Copies of this chain bind each other. A is one copy, B any other.
Amino acid sequence: MSRPAPLTPPRAVLFDAYGTLFDVYSVALLAEQLFPGQGQALSVLWRDKQIEYTRLVTTCNEGAHYQPFWELTRAALVFAIKKLVAHADGASATGLFDEKVEQLMNQYRSLSAFPENRSVLQTLKERCIPTGILSNGDASMLQLAVKSSGLHGLLDHIISVDPVRKYKTAPQAYALGESTLGLPASKILFVSSNAWDSLGATWHGYQTLWVNRYQLPFEELGTQPTRTGTTLRDVFDFFPPSSS
């Protein structure tokens, strides 16, 4: 939507996972059951804090404080509950607190996928376009999320940043997409619903699609994604119409 078509169609497509393929806010319903009146706020703060923690451990001391995404996700949840709920009622001292944390973490293992994912990935497969995930999630989280959301077999590569112990938007994390696919970033389309991720990938040299699912403004840092769309289906704007 936001720019003319890039000069050459990408030779592969990488997707961000959390927020892009999987709905990180689909935990809000359970959060609301466990913490009435706070479900929505909790799911938002949990997500924000999770992202913040990936940045803190990446920026500090060259990976000395790295923790896998699953652990950061749990830490962010504990923080979010303490800030929004438990600080008020002292529940953090009870066994109930740990139990609620575990229930929400279990829910996080099998987030809902967005409805259009399956058909988009299926079509890319039929058109013989290599696909993959490039995610902050650790390998076991990603495998489980792909399986539980019914996307198993529709993705050629599942790439976690875990081996480089740096989270996106670190260059070392984005470079894993290039090395895995054996292509320069300029020939790969990177798809994310997270504006910061679209920005980081654009800075890294990828062609980018920002899937703006929530009608948000883009980051104001002087760089725009290659294109902006509203669903995963906008991937096809990067490719010439199928001859079939």
Contact = CB atoms under 8 A, between A and B. Distances in A.
B219 A171 contact: no
Tell me how many chains of this kind the complex includes: 2
A110 interface: no
Given A52-B196, A196-B52, A203-B65, A57 B217 contact: no
A100 to B, nearest CB: 15
A221 B67 contact: yes
Interface stretch (A3-11, A77-85, A121-129): A77-85
Interface size class for chain A? Answer: 35 or more
A60 B217 contact: no
- Give chain A's interface secondary structure class: helix
Interface string A33-60: 0000000000000001000110111111
Given A60-B169, A60-B203, A64-B203, 19 more contacts: A56-B169, A57-B221, A58-B59, A59-B59, A59-B169, A59-B200, A60-B170, A60-B200, A60-B204, A61-B203, A61-B204, A67-B222, A75-B219, A75-B221, A76-B220, A78-B220, A79-B219, A83-B216, A87-B215
Interface of A: 48, 52-53, 55-62, 64-65, 67, 75-76, 78-79, 82-83, 87, 169-171, 196, 199-200, 203-204, 215-217, 219-223
